Amino acid sequence: MDLYDAIHHRRSHRLYQPDLPPREALKRVIDAALWAPSGTNAQPWEITVMAGKVRDDFVQLVSHAITYLLPLLKQANVPEKGQELVMKFFKNLGGAPVVIAVTIWKNADASMNLANLQSGAALMQNLLLAAQAEGLGTCWMTGANYLEKEILAFLGKENQQLLAITPIGYSAKEPPAPPRKDREVRWLGF
């Protein structure tokens, strides 16, 4: 798949088929993610790929994040139907057979910690685009971060930070393209 096609056709999937993707496809996705750039080439990330009972237990834990998200959705005036869709998605992460958690190293220095966060974001983007190229759906989720302490304990990574999670699998429904917001792009010196 062409890189530009992957970028323009990648969507946040919220409904998945139960079929487990081939392990080789998942390995290619993870390998592509690990080739992300990182500040000072620290590569300050760790990836946990979960399926089966571990995935089920993890999803059960993550589902509790909705108690933190629901008031925010109401405050943002998200329509009731939208709130219901978010709640339904968080109950089982759309039925995705695999969930990936990305954690990054903590750094006491604020600038280096920001570099670690940015590096982890680059890894997540690589992961999402590689999944798209493999015909797999994903959904970059930060709402789980409300349960960061509990999730890190579950993963045995209490000394790290939770960057994000993503369900991954074959999509059961192709989401529409969301409109792009008009943002300023400045070209100076051209």
Number of domains in the chain: 1
Give the integer Cα–Cα distance in Å for 165 and 2: 25
Domain range enclosing 55: 3-169
Strand order, beta sheet including 98-105: 45-51, 98-105, 160-169, 137-138
* 77-98 pLDDT per residue, tens: 999 999 999 999 999 999 999 9
- What average pLDDT does this structure show over 64-86? 93
Residue 189 lies in a domain: no
* 111-168 pLDDT per residue, tens: 999 999 999 999 999 999 999 999 999 999 999 999 999 999 999 999 999 999 999 9
Angle at 13 between CA 9 and CA 16, to 5 degrees: 125
- Whether 178 shows a pLDDT value over 90: the answer reads no
Residue 24 lies in a domain: yes
What pLDDT, on a 0 to 100 scale, did the predictor assign at position 177?
87
Residue 190 lies in a domain: no
| Strands 98-105 and 137-138, sheet pairing | unpaired
Q: How much is the mean pLDDT over the chain?
A: 95
Residue 108 lies in a domain: yes
pTM recorded for the entire structure: 0.94
* 31-44 pLDDT per residue, tens: 999 999 999 999 99
Residue 101 lies in a domain: yes
* 135-150 pLDDT per residue, tens: 999 999 999 999 999 9
Residue 110 lies in a domain: yes
Give the integer Cα–Cα distance in Å for 168 and 165: 10
What pLDDT, on a 0 to 100 scale, did the predictor assign at position 187?
93
Residue 174 lies in a domain: no
User: Could you tell me the end-to-end alpha-carbon distance of the chain, in angstroms, rounded to an integer?
Assistant: 32
| CB distance 92 to 57 below 8 Å | no
What pLDDT, on a 0 to 100 scale, did the predictor assign at position 179?
87
- What average pLDDT does this structure show over 9-23? 95
Residue 141 lies in a domain: yes
